[in-house]
Chain A
Amino acid sequence: MFGTYNLDVHLEEEGIELRVEGTGRRRRYYRKAGGEEVEKVVYADRAKLIVCPVEPVNVPDTTISEHLLTELTTPAVIASGSRDTFYVKFPVEIGVFVVDSRDVERIDIFTKTQPKYTLYGPPERGIVCKWWKSDLYMEEPEVDRLFEGVMQVDVKNDYYQWMELHHVVFWAFDMKIFYNRHAFMHAHLTIQKRTIGETSFITHKPKNMHKAVDIYQAKGLKKLKEKYVMEWGFQ
């Protein structure tokens, strides 16, 4: 499903159907996933269609949240001063873009996952986050690639005490998504204090992977900061 295609593509996989029909400048885009169908007319001379995973905070509405909170089914207890790497899964949202030499335009985003939101922090100051629950894996897990992606998390505990990690919050503006067979992100978590930590993403493209279209970059929205500070703890 993921990849770059000409504007005459027809893809079908795991209950998702996506096609572009017609010839010349006027094409008809059609997508069916779950119970939802979308149709759009695309006017383009020379353009390509990119289908790739995007920041998982866009469905059902892009205005609800810019953050992803991953709740760990099994909490992790981390010793002071230690570093480790674990893996979690994240919900996949699939973006469809038309791209030519001048611009990239998002025409569709959909997901097979059931979206759910949660509040991180107290009601008066907290933020609404997209919620996802994942097991914690010591090695890269197998995933249903159109449903979940893999996130590698390098964790470092700079606090002088043991810390118990129940959830991690990531900022979509900062996400760097890559894909080949499945979607992949590489994040970093630094625990600084009992209730304060910092999450960021590693920009380095892993071998044999493609970089997904960055929605915020595509729209010319500059990234003023590249990290998210978790202010309300890890439990």
Chain B
Amino acid sequence: MNIMGALQDVWNYQLGTGGPKVWEVAQFVLIIVAAIVIARVIRTNIRRIMKERVPKNTLSNMEKLVYYTIVFVGFVIAMSTIGFSLSGLLVAGGIMGIVIGFASQTVVSNLISGLFLIIEKPIKIGDGVNIDDVAGIVEDVRILSTTIRTYDGIYTRLPNEKVFSSNIQNYVAHGARRFSYSVGIRYRDDADQAKEIITNLLESHPLVLKNPAPQVFVEELGNSSVNLKVRMWAPSTHWYGVYTEMLWKIKVALEKEGIQIPFPQRVVWFADTLKGDITTDRQA
């Protein structure tokens, strides 16, 4: 009887004057936990069902919207159990918002930048990008920050304000991209033949696009070589593989046909004819 009575006293104990009772606080915590659990279950199911049907970026935004809406609704319901009405909460929230806004301008700035990033969509999850000299794959675009996995595999978090105000290079925003090489051949080699060999090689590669057509032309008559410019387009999602593959293939194809890539060389002319026979000297 005493134990039960004590428990009941604790259960009904009022926290502070006019404050909520212990059971009300327990109810508050329970509702919040339930809301989070429900939100997670629904988020997981949305991910499972929609994973192959909607783009990754849309799915991520959808998940976040559903998750935070459920948690917010749970929070509002939970607040009413400890005596806070929704209208009171909104008024308090408004005042608190102003206070917090002044106190944390950076957070608000990141938040607004995040919203603009989600609306404007200069980057999407999975895109290869370079933002503020951080190059890598976009892992997530959150409300306050954007996370990037660099090509070295390093997790990098960028505040959204920085992302929004930086120059963003999105390597896969367009379907195709162009890249180029400079290839030097000897002056004695036939540049037209070299152009034909390279063009045929590019034609035979599946991922070097047919249109826009690759370009091969003499770019410069250099000190030691005739420099050819080789330009090609490839699908943005696969360009790097082509880029790393083709230069060596060009070199091998040219050499197979007797066209060589020369070493730097310099012809030296003497003002006076050399005295003495070098050949004779050597023999001597």
| Contact A118–B210 (Cβ < 8 Å) | yes
Min CB gap B50→A, angstroms: 11
Min CB gap A225→B, angstroms: 14
Min CB gap B127→A, angstroms: 14
Q: With A61-B238, A222-B53 as known contacts, state yes or no: A114 contacts B206, CB within 8 Å.
A: yes
Report A116-134 CB contacts with B as 1/0, cut-off 8 Å: 1111000111111001000
Chain B's closest residue to A60 (CB) is B206
Q: With A118-B211, A119-B211 as known contacts, state yes or no: A128 contacts B52, CB within 8 Å.
A: no
| Contact A117–B210 (Cβ < 8 Å) | yes
Report A56-79 CB contacts with B as 1/0, cut-off 8 Å: 000011011100000000000000
B contacts with A: majority SS = loop
| Contact B52–A117 (Cβ < 8 Å) | no
| Contact B52–A64 (Cβ < 8 Å) | no
- Specify which of B174, B207, B233 is in contact with A64 (CB 8 Å cutoff): B207
Bound complex: CA A63 to CA B238 (Å):
9
Interface set, chain B 96-113, CB cutoff 8 A to A = none
Q: With A64-B237, A64-B238 as known contacts, state yes or no: A119 contacts B206, CB within 8 Å.
A: no
Chain A's closest residue to B233 (CB) is A119
- Interface footprint category on B: 10 to 19
Bound complex: CA A117 to CA B211 (Å):
8
| Contact A220–B52 (Cβ < 8 Å) | yes
Min CB gap A63→B, angstroms: 7
Bound complex: CA A60 to CA B207 (Å):
9
| Contact B206–A117 (Cβ < 8 Å) | yes
State whether the Cβ of B20 lies closer than 8 Å to any Cβ in chain A.
no
Report A72-105 CB contacts with B as 1/0, cut-off 8 Å: 0000000000000000000000000000000000
| Contact B237–A119 (Cβ < 8 Å) | no
Report B177-208 CB contacts with A as 1/0, cut-off 8 Å: 11000000000000000000000000010110
State whether the Cβ of B5 lies closer than 8 Å to any Cβ in chain A.
no
State whether the Cβ of B176 lies closer than 8 Å to any Cβ in chain A.
yes
State whether the Cβ of B18 lies closer than 8 Å to any Cβ in chain A.
no
Chain A's closest residue to B212 (CB) is A119
Report A26-66 CB contacts with B as 1/0, cut-off 8 Å: 00000000000000000000000000000000001101110
Min CB gap A229→B, angstroms: 16
Residues from chain A with Cβ under 8 Å of B210 in the complex = 116-118, 131
Residues from chain B with Cβ under 8 Å of A118 in the complex = 209-211
Bound complex: CA A60 to CA B175 (Å):
17
Q: With A64-B238, A117-B235, A119-B211 as known contacts, state yes or no: A125 contacts B206, CB within 8 Å.
A: no
Interface set, chain B 164-182, CB cutoff 8 A to A = 174-178
Q: With A125-B174, A128-B176 as known contacts, state yes or no: A119 contacts B209, CB within 8 Å.
A: yes
Bound complex: CA A61 to CA B207 (Å):
10
Min CB gap A167→B, angstroms: 9
| Contact B52–A219 (Cβ < 8 Å) | yes
Bound complex: CA A60 to CA B205 (Å):
11
Chain A's closest residue to B206 (CB) is A115
Min CB gap A33→B, angstroms: 16
Interface set, chain B 42-63, CB cutoff 8 A to A = 52-53
Min CB gap A234→B, angstroms: 14
Bound complex: CA A221 to CA B54 (Å):
10
Bound complex: CA A221 to CA B53 (Å):
6
| Contact A123–B233 (Cβ < 8 Å) | yes
Chain A's closest residue to B176 (CB) is A119
Interface set, chain B 11-51, CB cutoff 8 A to A = none
| Contact B206–A123 (Cβ < 8 Å) | no
Residues from chain B with Cβ under 8 Å of A64 in the complex = 207, 235, 237-238
Min CB gap A200→B, angstroms: 21
| Contact A114–B235 (Cβ < 8 Å) | no
Residues from chain A with Cβ under 8 Å of B53 in the complex = 221-222
Of B52, B207, B211, B238, most A-chain CB atoms within 10 Å: B211
| Contact B176–A123 (Cβ < 8 Å) | yes
Bound complex: CA A128 to CA B207 (Å):
10
Bound complex: CA A222 to CA B50 (Å):
11
- Specify which of B175, B178, B206, B207 is in contact with A127 (CB 8 Å cutoff): B175
Chain A's closest residue to B177 (CB) is A123
| Contact B235–A65 (Cβ < 8 Å) | yes
| Contact A117–B207 (Cβ < 8 Å) | yes
| Contact A221–B52 (Cβ < 8 Å) | yes
Bound complex: CA A221 to CA B233 (Å):
31
Residues from chain B with Cβ under 8 Å of A61 in the complex = 238
Chain B's closest residue to A224 (CB) is B53
Residues from chain A with Cβ under 8 Å of B174 in the complex = 123-126
Bound complex: CA A125 to CA B236 (Å):
12
Binding site for A on B (CB under 8 A): 52-53, 174-178, 204, 206-207, 209-212, 233, 235, 237-238
- 6 sample A-B contacts, Cβ–Cβ < 8 Å, listed by A number: A61-B238, A64-B235, A117-B206, A117-B207, A123-B177, A128-B235
